[in-house]
Amino acid sequence: MRNAILAALCVVAAAVLLDACASLPKKSLTGPLVIAQQGSFFVGGRDVHSETLSTLPNFAPIGTITVDQIYVHYQIPVDARHHPITLVHGCCLTGKTWETTPDGRMGWDEYFVRKGYPIYVIDQAGRGRSAANPSIIDAVKLGKTPPDQLPAIFSAGHEAAWVIFRFGPEYPKTFPGMQFPLEAQTEFWKQMVPDWNPSLPTPNPTVPALSELALRLNGTVLVSHSQSGIYPFQTAALSTKGIAGIIAIEPAACPNANGDLQPYTKMPILVLFGDYVDQSPRWAPRLKACREFVEATNNAGGRGELVMLADIGMPGASHMVMHDKRSLEVAEWLSAWIERKLEQ
């Protein structure tokens, strides 16, 4: 008992010391990581009755499952002093995107925790640890539903992803100076998972779930990537409550510049793009549309910014900015942007 009290006091003393450390301006990116609280939970979800949950004798076909929820993993540093950040991965990927880079360096999840941000990493609805619904697949297997009704589940092959992620103009060529750690590409390909998104309702269930999460966090910066780029904007269109800011990393889409822009005038917005965009028929028009959106939003009274990493001294960024060799430089710049736009 005495030892337990001593141990508790000892940890409290260490925590007080660490808290004092935190008041020093520069946060350490090495050494022990001190977490006040961590864990995981789900947001959203709905019950679905199905008669084709299984084609196996030992699992009943009839029953209720819960789908459309999002898995959320969080860490809150002991010296949290910034807005919480919610990290939303892109196509064919999961929350793993934000963790350890393919070449084994610290991910943005830990970086921001070390900088004093509570971090919430999600798996989009229907992917990773967020359940998909196999009912139609089993209905087709059982001959109850025609094959063309199967969900359009797809995987991005290495060769296609190579071009989409702008490692180079075509597989396996690389853009000169490109910063993605290609020496670790075999580890990177293992991150990619089948994407069920085309089979999900519209708006994607991740959107209302992000809204619920933002309300619960009472003010979070929604950070999207690629295919999820439109989600924080769609979330803001549902309700701007709880959204402290939006950072769209290489969004596949921005809201229509000719649509209702009022929701997007309520918070600071950053649209961030890497390099070689003009050389990509897929990305060049997206960049153009995002430029038009930001300009229109600012004309409507908004506080939007579109930044090309090459223009701020960080050339060579691929689409996987959070994995690039300069990933932590970019994260540091983002942290400064958040402090400048949201906290001054």
Task: Find out whether 269 and 241 touch, Cβ atoms under 8 Å.
Answer: no
Least distance between a copy of itself and beta carbon 299 (Å): 31
Distance from C-alpha of 118 to C-alpha of 281, rounded to nearest angstrom: 37
150 lies in the site for a copy of itself, by CB under 8 A = yes
- Please choose, from the candidates 297, 52, 88, 299, the residue with its C-alpha nearest in 3D space to the C-alpha of residue 205: 88
Helix (H) or strand (E) holding 158: helix 158-164
303 lies in the site for a copy of itself, by CB under 8 A = no
- Please choose, from the candidates 339, 317, 341, the residue with its C-alpha nearest in 3D space to the C-alpha of residue 328: 317
175 lies in the site for a copy of itself, by CB under 8 A = no
170 lies in the site for a copy of itself, by CB under 8 A = no
Residues ≥6 apart with Cβ < 8 Å to 343: 82, 83
Least distance between a copy of itself and beta carbon 16 (Å): 9
Q: Which of 20, 284, 312, 336 binds a copy of itself (CB under 8 A)?
A: 20
Nearer to a copy of itself by Cβ, of 19 and 278: the residue is: 19
Distance from C-alpha of 56 to C-alpha of 50, rounded to nearest angstrom: 15
Nearer to a copy of itself by Cβ, of 11 and 312: the residue is: 11
Q: Which of 80, 129, 203, 240 binds a copy of itself (CB under 8 A)?
A: 129
Q: Which of 131, 222, 223, 272 binds a copy of itself (CB under 8 A)?
A: 131
Nearer to a copy of itself by Cβ, of 111 and 264: the residue is: 111
212 lies in the site for a copy of itself, by CB under 8 A = no
Q: Which of 177, 198, 201, 259 binds a copy of itself (CB under 8 A)?
A: 198
Q: Which of 128, 205, 232, 302 binds a copy of itself (CB under 8 A)?
A: 128
Which letter, b or e, does each residue of 130-169 get, where b requires 16 or more Cβ atoms within 10 Å of its Cβ?
bbbbbbbbbbbeeeebeeeeebeeeebeeeebbbbbbbbe
279 lies in the site for a copy of itself, by CB under 8 A = no
Nearer to a copy of itself by Cβ, of 32 and 313: the residue is: 32
Residues ≥6 apart with Cβ < 8 Å to 90: 97, 224, 225, 226, 227, 228, 229, 250, 252
54 lies in the site for a copy of itself, by CB under 8 A = yes
11 lies in the site for a copy of itself, by CB under 8 A = yes
Distance from C-alpha of 78 to C-alpha of 22, rounded to nearest angstrom: 9
Q: Which of 80, 116, 154, 325 binds a copy of itself (CB under 8 A)?
A: 154
Per rule CB under 8 A, count of chain residues that contact a copy of itself: 95
